[in-house]
Structure 1
Amino acid sequence: MSVAFDQTALKARLTAAREGRAVNRLLTAVRAGRVEAVPGLLKELDPGDRRTALVELKALRTEVRGWGWSRWNEQVPVQKALRVAGAGCHTGAAAAAAWIGGRDLNDWARGTSQFVLDVLADRDPAWVGDVARRLAERPAVAEGDFRLVRELVARSGCPVPTTDGYVLGWTGSLSGRRLLEELRADPHTPVLVPRVLDMAETPDRLTWSVGPDAPTHWPTALVKLAEEGVLDRTSLVDGCVARLLRGGRPRDLRFPLALLRLLDPTPGERRGRTADWTGMAADAPSPVAAYAQEVLAGLAAEGELSTAELAEMSGQVLFRTEKKLVRTQLTLLSKELRRDPGAATALLPVVAEAFGHEDTGIQERALKVVGRYLTRVDEQVQEELASAAAMLSPAHREAAEELFGPTGPVDDHPYEETLPSAPELRRVAAPPATVAELVEDLVTVSKGRGATPPEEFERALDGLVHHAYRHREELEAALAVAFADAWWAGEEEQAPDQFVYGTYGVNVVMASLMGRVRPSRIHDARVSEPAPSSCVHGALDAVVDARLWEAAALVGTDRLPLLLAAPTWHTGAIEPSVLVERLRAYRDAGVDPAPVDLAQALLRVRKAGPSAAAAAVDASALGTRAGERLADWLRADAALAPGLRFLARERDPKGGPERLADRIVLKIRERRAVREEFPPVFRWLGGADTKAPEPCYHWGEERRNWPGVVPDDRETLACWLLPVLAGAVEWDERGASWGMTALAEAEGPVGEATHLALAFALGCRHPEDRLNAVDTLLVLAARRELDAGRLGGTLAGLVVDGTVKPNRLADAARTAAATGAYGTTWSVLAPLLPALLTAEKPTRGLGELLAVAADCVERCGAAGEVAGLDATADRRASSQLVVQARRLRKALRAPASASSQRADQETTQMAENDH
């Protein structure tokens, strides 16, 4: 028995040794990154061996995550091998899908799909289908590794996934010149095409701007398939209409609109969707609204649109701002009135809606339509129309009175400019009083990151330092519960890898307090010299991060009892007396201030007003080096104020377009105290040599905290914003004017940089950016800090050289004037117009600017002469440019009205009283 036992044991040991060698060979191949060897080595392993190997693979995966960029060339092959080996070793569908779709393995593991398919070749089809479904629910995998998921679907026979990621991958795989043939041959086309029309964002390949004859034009291919019966035509029409009704970005509506046009709905399909067309005409983006308007016009011409339906859709279209849509609608109404004059009672009140349109040409057209059919309506409707005529521009007042008679009492009150109230400083609330309140704030700030208002970020950081110093154990316990599932709250051996690429806002401070950041990582981040940045925004992010790394190093210790740089005011500024008291608290505690915290506090302290001088005396009396530095800083010249040169446009000798940002040259003034006494991350503010900005693609998470670095220096902030705004003027960058609010509320002189930034913002491509600029313009005017002549002259140069488009500037000026600031808007346009009227090259779109100027003058009663206006107004033409030039000249030379005379008399009387 003993011999037999020994033989059995020997066989077991030999088998284990062989199995161990097989596992080791697999692990060796994975560590070497030999992905092509993995499928063969997996075949040697039984289920038990695979479970054993899986434990080692998980440990290796954790190790590889921490290698960092320095080992990137070594890391990628290992990750590829890990992906394949782990896929073959997992037995559960959920676990296998999680491994295959893991971000760290999937991001760099392209080209492994066939190997993954090889190791899953012997699995049950139902299991494979489950894996395919789970991978399809992972957007990055479903789109980026679409061919893998599609093959798994094909092998399993499961229903085709319809997730957004899978549809994106599918559309991307069918972009070749044989698009029609590939769609026709794909059995999943009838399922996935309707799903495309349901997506909130249309796949990129379907939005390509190619003609209908191009082989890659999706709408043409789908219409052909509908004609062949592969796709259901009615479903396509329904899907297109539903997608257009849902609205969205013009980019996402381009495909369904093009498809619907090519499908060319039948008369029955058009008649059955009258309410849908009306909804599109009212609310959809211009191209969609124009198509709906075209369909409705056709129905009206065919007699298929009732007068009530026409009135309903017209009232909504005439309320739109797009001039082409409004003009087209007025033409449609005029045609309908010619066909059926009896409809005047229902339609003329709708036409009168255009009396309030911002374009005086449209007002004139509407007035003519009303005048033509006025006799067709009764006295009550005529009174209603006369009342609506009060909305007309003063330019049409005479014509309206000829038509309706006197339309109301003459307004003889003097013109009053309407400007917003000047914003006042708001105190930042004290840190949360309890740990529970603080944790609520930290959860909000942690999730919001770059979207968090700066004052909320600062308050949360201040509260974190405050309570960590006084109630550390209670705070740690509360954070452990509130952030148990946070991405940085993993096991300790994984924690050091979480903050390799940044601080992620207050997260790094919380993680450090909880022991989830390696001390050496914090030390390295604090002592390393800041990397050279090609743009100022990278340097600003480095300042914000430096504060957070320093807080992470000191939080919860006796060396950081409070934050010196916590702002007093919502702009980020600190009251001098408050900073003195904080330094006194440090002195009494026998603690030296943290270097970055002190430097940021100095940059934030307010220097304006008598309080700064008194605080300087108190700071000197503290008897500490920090107090002396504060006193010196308060007595020094007030601003960093970079020198700014804006170069004239020059032709690029290489033939390429000249970037607007290349014309901005900054020279930061030398500040010895900053260069010699501030931490390295701030020293660029002390006068480091600068050159024209490099191409800037930096768009950091912490950008809303940039203004708080120097809230007491408006001109410096404006210089930092210029490259960002330049991108929004030239290119399609959206949201670039976010800093204009901070610029309006900041302190310090308003000089060349601020006015140039405002000029750029008024010329931004997107309306929401221009709206921020208008708000800033009005706030500066309300605070009497706007130099209208300087802004107008700056804009003149930008418009003449083609940098700022006149139509964008006209839109911004019209918006500003519509708030009631007609005088302020005219004060900016008055120095701008002569340069445009006398320019050698005609300025396209100048007529729009003249229209806004004329409206301002008519309403505020300004008078005077504009160089070049007579020459334009005297031309024998009827273009908008000439018509509006005549209108502006007439307004500037109009006899003083009773209101203007009264205003002049009051001004004279006030001057005499003052004398």
Structure 2
Amino acid sequence: MKELLDVVRQGRVKDVPELVRSLDRAGRKEALAELKELRGDVRGWGWGEWEKRRLVQRALLLAGGACQSGAAAAASWIAARDLRGWEEVPYTTLVGLLSDRDSKWLADVAHRLAARTATARTDYPLIRELVRLSGCEVPLSDGYVYGWVDAVTRSRGRSGLRELRTDPHTPLLVPRLFETSEVADALSWSEQWGPALVSLSQEGVVDRRVLVDGCVARLLRGGKSADLRFFLGLLRLLELTPQEERERTADWMGLAADAPSPVAGYAQEVLARLVLAGGLPARQLAEVSSSVLFRPEKKLVRAQLVLLGKALRQEPGAAGELLPVLSDVFGHEDTALQERALKLVGRHLASVDEESRGELAGAAALLSPVHRDLADEVFGPLLVTDDLASGPYEEILPPLPEPQRLAPPPETLAELVEEVAALLHGRDAGTDVVAREHALDGLVRFAHQDREALAEALAPCVADLWWHDDRTPDLTDLSDVALVVATLLGNVSPGRLQGAVRRQMEFPCRHGRLERIATVRAQEAALGVLTGPLPFLLATPTWHTGTVDPGELVGRLAEYRRLDLRPAECDFAQALLRVRRTGPGAAEAAGAAARLGTEEGDRLAAWLTGEESYGPGVRTVCEVPPPSWSIEPPMKRIAMATPERLVLQREFPAVFQPLGRPWDPGQRACYHWEDATAAWMAVLPEDREVLAAWLLPLAAACADDEQRGGTGFLTALAEAGGEAGPAVHLALAHGLGARHTEDRLVAVDALLVLAARGDLDAQRLGVDLAELVGIGTVKVNRAADALRTAAGTGAYSTVWRVLAGALPGLLADGEPPRGTGEILALAAECAERSGAAGATGTAAVPGLEALGSRRGSSQLVVQARRLANALRQSAEQTTTQMA
């Protein structure tokens, strides 16, 4: 036994089998106790001993697995993660060590290993050998199936098929391919599995019905298109017979209605064959058509309309069942599909009863105004003209967001402790700036009243926090609230806080400087509760946007004067940056501040009446280098540089002064890839233009680098104060072109809020979009999707004005970018519905007439003609009204 332990400690893997075989049962049991102790020691070895640890772990796996007496313990030891490196388990050697056990024991170990999700796949060779030795039933776990697929895939060419054909387990494992929780990886990329399974079914090794039913069941189960590609391809290779297709009619109907587009397209093909063969009753065709025509994929809707046309030609008597479902297309966003459905109704309208004709005529109100003449031709006197008449257009915008006031300070110590505990322990509480500001103010207030009582009440809240017993915690690892609490409990000394506040740090980007301000202010507040308790914080926001009411700030300064106290330097500076400088009450507050007769009152009065601001930013096109591992060329981006602001450099504390220096985005590196934090936004809630310029790269990365989550700050910008100038609109344009739908929806919300507040310059936004498309930052189809969503809320006039600003740039070169047809279709719809406010005929969109005069029936040309016609009609109506 001692010799075995020495061999294992030295990592001499080759010598382990012989020494294990030389031990009897008692010797193995005694050795196992030592091996367990050694295993525990190895876990504590550092990375510097990685090579030695790798060899010792390998030896431990073999020796310990062979010395185990129970099947459960053996399986647990063999599958242990701490005994495995990146190398394959030496299963041949291990099987040789276990081969002297009885078959029941080997079968138990095999099935236990197969049931382990984390390791069964990689342990497939070992499990298979154990199954062969024991003669037990093959495991059917997901992991074992994945390992089997990997092993067969590695057997290239004909050898793989021969292995499948001769493997007695193939008939048992093939059905599991369709039942595993995830699709086996190799099925998604290997080209050999589909033909191999078809061959096996032809040879009778696998029942053909198992393959067909398995594929259909897996497609019905749903999932990502990439995961379903193998099963769809296998169905095509199987070439189902008409009988097999008829037996599964209900399945094809379900797939056509709900499956991903490629699968639904295949189901449509099968249903079309059934319809033409007379195997699908009109009632079932109407049922599935109602679902398919509601899908967003235009290709599927178009194919279903073609199928309905064929069915009606083949069986005119089915018009009563089929025509009513066509009315669902009358409200489709694609006017070409509306026209196709309307013409199809017109061809067969005489075949339905009067009641159905009336219902179809009533549904014509959903049609685009461009089809009013055709609808009149189709329905004639049945058409209720009032339904199609366009009354005065009314723009629908969201209600103005009401600023939400912060709750008053906690009245009792128990309320404050509960609030602080929620912030210290809540997973997402740290992102709520309003809650943190409220809690910070409460801590300062109660520390001013009775610091010892506050500390005593807070102590139970931190007993399970990592810094509870740490008397020198890293200050950068503590949130603002945690820092103040730790200071109150004696974990942070005044000297460390003083050093942290005075420390000068330079950051290469504005995001780091914004973070530093929030950090220093929290450190200053923590120092204040120890060395000179403040009655409250001046910069606590009044509203959820982070803004401070000017009259309220004057009242806070008046209380400081009454108590004969000087405000904390950073707290007062942050209050100035947060105070609302425009709107009702600002002028009166300035006068009241001047009458305080204090230095801070005079500074507030000058701040409220001063005209110095960041001013307009400088627009620049810069190149963003790709990552070092990428071969892609640099990306061009439009960015905004910000000028200097001298008042910040001269009159504000050192931590604020970098915000007043000029900033060129092309000369500053930035490591911030995540979304803008709420703390950044709360530093300058009344300067959204400069915030937009500094945070613009985050939104740009969502458009051209396909990052996710970088547009979140747009909502706060839309609700913030200050000018909504070029930087705000440029950031919004990037958001409308973001890669991910959720990011575009955030931008749509911001667009509508800006429009509702009267802050949106639609023309500027449209020009920005066209320019971003021109340099490749934004793709047309993404912007079209976002603007279509905005228009769908009822903001057709707003969206038209944005598109009117974008179209001249998109059409300027004569060869519009791909996807412009979608933009033109949306513009035409918005112009028809809103009357194209402000348009003066086709002159409103230079290049439109030339595009519409081209030959052809592409979406680009057809929609250009449609928009041109809508603009001409709008101009004529305007002329008539003026006359």
- The answer to whether residue 793 in structure 2 is matched with residue 825 in structure 1 is no
Which of residues 542, 549, 566 is equivalent to 1:575?
549
1:606 to 571, 580, 605: 580
> Are the equivalent residues in 2 in contact too, given 1:128–1:152 (CA < 8 A)?
no
Q: Does 1:885 align with 2:860?
A: no
Summarize the Cα distance change of 1:496–1:336 in structure 2 as closer, same or farther, 3 Å threshold. Answer: farther
Alpha-carbon displacement from aligned partner over 1:295-351 (angstroms, at most 9, x marks no partner): 222222222211111101111111122211111110000000000000001111111
User: Contact 1:798–1:804 at 8 Å: present in 2 too?
Assistant: yes
**Which of 207, 213, 219 is 1:244 aligned to?**
219
- Structure 2 distance, partners of 1:366, 1:294, is 20
Which residue is 1:275 aligned to?
250
* Structure 2 residue aligned with 1:740: 714
1:644-701 per-position Cα deviation (integer Å, ceiling 9, x unaligned): 423189999x996544465536346355746995565x66534375442789775448
Matched, 1:869 2:845: no
Specify the SS of the correspondent of 1:831.
helix
Would you say 1:814 and 2:788 are equivalent positions? Answer: yes
**What is the CA–CA distance in structure 2 between the aligned matches of 1:80 and 1:525, rounded to whole Å?**
44
Q: Give the aligned residue type for 2:335.
A: T
CA distance in 1, matches of 2:524, 2:105: 51
Counterpart among 353, 363, 379 of residue 404 in structure 1:
379
What is the CA–CA distance in structure 1 between the aligned matches of 2:776 and 2:438, rounded to whole Å?
44
Are 1:450 and 1:702, in contact at CA under 8 Å, matched by a contact in 2? Answer: no
1:880: Cα distance to partner?
Answer: 2.5
Q: Say whether 1:295 aligns with 2:273.
A: no
- Asked whether the 8 Å contact 2:433–2:679 carries over to 1, the reply is yes
Instruction: State the one-letter code of the partner of 1:716.
Output: V
The equivalent residue for 2:731 is 757
Determine the C-alpha separation between the residues in 2 that align with 1:736 and 1:806: 19
Aligned equivalent of 1:371: 346
> How big is the shift at 1:861?
1.9
Q: Distance in 1 between matches of 2:492 and 2:547?
A: 31
Corresponding residue SS for 2:641: strand
Worse-superposed segment, 243-252 or 766-775: 243-252
CA contact (8 A) 1:620 1:631 kept: yes
Instruction: Give distance in 1, aligned partners of 2:109 and 2:523.
Output: 42
**Contact kept? 1:727, 1:733, Cα under 8 Å:** yes
Kindly, what percent of the aligned residue pairs are identical?
A: 46
Paired residues, number: 850
The 3 A distance-change label for structure 1 pair 671 and 804 is: same
1:775 corresponds in structure 2 to 749
Go from structure 1 to structure 2 and tell me whether the alpha carbon gap of 1:426 and 1:901 turns closer, same or farther (over 3 Å shift). farther
Conservation of the 8 A alpha-carbon contact between 2:770 and 2:806: yes
Name the CA distance, whole Å, in 1 between partners of 2:597 and 2:511: 37
Post-superposition offset of 1:48: 8.2
Match 2:460 to one of 474, 477, 482? 477
Out of 302, 317, 322, the residue aligned to residue 327 of structure 1 is 302
Partner of 2:259: 284
Q: What does the per-residue CA deviation read over 1:613-635, in whole Å, with 9 as the maximum and x for residues that have no partner?
A: 66677778989998888777666
For 1:408, give the aligned amino acid.
V
| CA-CA distance at 1:830 after TM superposition | 1.6
Q: Which residue of 2 aligns with 1:908?
A: none
- Paired amino acid for 1:838: A
Q: Which sits farther off after the overlay, 275-284 or 55-64? A: 55-64
Contact conserved, 1:503 with 1:548, CA < 8 A, in 2? no
Cα deviations by residue, 1:527-577 (Å, 9 ceiling, x for unpaired)? 9876856x6656666666777788899999986886665543222333345
Structure 1 residues 452 and 349, CA gap change in structure 2 (3 angstroms): farther
Select which of 417, 422, 425 maps to 2:395. 417
Q: CA deviation at 1:844?
A: 2.8
The aligned counterpart of 2:363 is 388
Partner of 1:405, secondary structure, is: helix
Residue identity matched to 2:641: L
2:286–2:321 contact (8 Å) kept in structure 1: yes
- Aligned-pair CA distance for 1:177: 7.4
**What is the CA RMSD across the aligned residues, in angstroms?**
5.7
Q: Secondary structure at the match of 1:646?
A: strand
- Aligned partner letter, 1:383: G
Structure 1 pair 59–539 and aligned structure 2 pair: CA distance change class (3 A): farther
Question: Given that residues 649 and 801 in structure 1 are in contact (C-alpha distance below 8 angstroms), is that contact kept between their aligned partners in structure 2?
Answer: no
**What's the TM-score once normalised by structure 1's chain length?**
0.75
Gaps of 5+ in 2: none
Secondary structure of the 2:712 match is: helix
Counterpart secondary structure, 1:737? coil
Q: Tell me how far apart the structure 1 counterparts of residues 562 and 159 of structure 2 sit (CA, whole Å).
A: 82
Is the 2:825–2:863 Cα contact (8 Å) retained in structure 1? yes
Structure 1: gaps of 5 or more residues: 1-17, 65-72, 209-214, 906-915
Q: Write the deviation string for residues 833-853 of structure 1: whole angstroms up to 9, x where unpaired.
A: 233333143433322222222
Render the CA deviation track for 1:823-873: whole Å, top value 9, x for unaligned. 111111223223333314343332222222222222222342232222222
> Could you tell me how far apart the structure 1 residues matched to 2:487 and 2:367 are?
65
Q: Which amino acid is 1:419 matched to? A: L
Which residue does 1:449 correspond to in 2? 428
Q: Are the counterparts in 2 of residues 415 and 899 from structure 1 also a CA contact under 8 Å?
A: no
How many Å separate the matches in 2 of 1:613 and 1:389? 57
CA contact (8 A) 1:136 1:163 kept: yes
- Tell me what 1:10 maps to: none
- In the alignment, the residues of structure 2 paired with residue 785 and residue 819 of structure 1 have an alpha-carbon distance, to the nearest angstrom, of 18
Query: In structure 2, which of residues 760, 768, 773 is the aligned counterpart of residue 799 of structure 1?
Result: 773
Amino acid of the structure 2 residue aligned with 1:416: E
Change (3 A) 1:857 1:706: same
Equivalent residues in 2 for 1:353-752 (5 A)? 353-406=328-381, 407-410=383-386, 411=389, 413-429=391-407, 435=414, 446=425, 448-449=427-428, 455=434, 471-478=454-461, 480=463, 488=466, 566-576=540-550, 603-609=577-583, 611=585, 640=614, 643-647=617-621, 657-660=632-635, 662-664=637-639, 666-667=641-642, 669-670=644-645, 673=648, 678=653, 684-687=658-661, 690-692=664-666, 698-700=672-674, 703=677, 705-752=679-726
| Contact 1:646/1:665, CA 8 A, preserved across alignment | yes
Aligned position for 2:48: 74
Q: What's the secondary structure of 1:726's corresponding residue? A: helix
| Alpha-carbon distance, 1:374 to partner | 0.9
128-137 vs 835-844, greater mean Cα deviation: 128-137
8 A contact 1:647–1:663 mirrored in 2: yes
Shift of the 593–257 alpha-carbon distance from structure 1 to 2, 3 Å rule, reads: farther
Give runs of aligned pairs for residues 823-862 of structure 1, distance below 5 A. Answer: 823-862=797-836
* 1:178 to 2:145 alignment: no
Per mean C-alpha deviation after superposition, the further-off stretch among 507-516 and 267-276 is: 507-516
Please say which of residues 354-363 and 129-138 is displaced more in the overlay.
Answer: 129-138
Could you say what secondary structure the match of 2:867 adopts? helix
CA deviation map 1:584-622 (0-9, x unaligned): 888999999888766655544433346556667777898
For 2:445 and 2:654, locate their aligned partners in 1 and report how far apart those are by CA, in whole Å.
Answer: 23
> For 1:643 and 1:802, how far apart are their aligned partners in 2?
22
TM-score (ref. length: structure 2): 0.77
> For residues 559 and 539 of structure 2, what CA distance do their matches in structure 1 show?
14
Aligned position for 1:67: none
1:313 counterpart (279, 288, 294):
288
| Contact in 1 for aligned 2:648/2:657 (Cα 8 Å) | no
